[in-house]
Amino acid sequence: MSVQALAKPSSNDITVTLKRLVALLEEDETDEYGILQPSQYAFKSVMRLVVDAYEAMGDSFPRASASTDEQGGIRLTWSKQAPSGEVRLVCPADASQQTYLYHELGDNYAVERDVTVSILVQWLEWLNQA
């Protein structure tokens, strides 16, 4: 499925998330703190997970903020204010490191090291229902 096909007006949260991911590619390559643009590995990995999760969740897919780390990895963060909760997908710059998912609600938190689309969907639905 193309980004254009996903970016329907009725799917605003996925549109915002995809635009935020694409905007990372338009950053300067580096600054004094490190790499600003994501690596191709991180970008492709995150896009695949996000698009597949959206296909599974439809319009219940929540919007995420997107940022890079100093090595070109990508962090997507889904947050909820009340109750305070968060799901964070962290994809490293290259395949030598592991993608992981962090989730917290109040004082309870954990890390999922085996990240699949179904695990991502499970935790995003958990956040939606919290």
Sort 6 into a burial class: Cβ within 10 Å, 0-12 / 13-18 / 19+. Answer: middle
pLDDT, one tens digit per residue, over 65-115 is 999 998 999 999 999 988 889 999 999 999 999 999 999 998 899 999 999
Residue 2 scores a pLDDT above 90: no
Is the Cβ–Cβ distance between 79 and 67 less than 8 Å?
Answer: no
Task: Pick 36 or 14 by higher pLDDT.
Answer: 14
Sort 17 into a burial class: Cβ within 10 Å, 0-12 / 13-18 / 19+. Answer: buried
| Kind plus residue range of the DSSP H or E element containing 45 | helix 40-57
DSSP at 60: G
Full DSSP string of 18-29: HHHHHHHHTS-S
The pLDDT of residue 56 is 97
Residue 50 scores a pLDDT above 80: yes
Confidence of residue 11 (pLDDT cuts 50, 70, 90): low
Domains of the chain, by residue range, sit at 3-129
DSSP at 96: T
Q: What residue type is assigned to position 77 of the chain?
A: T
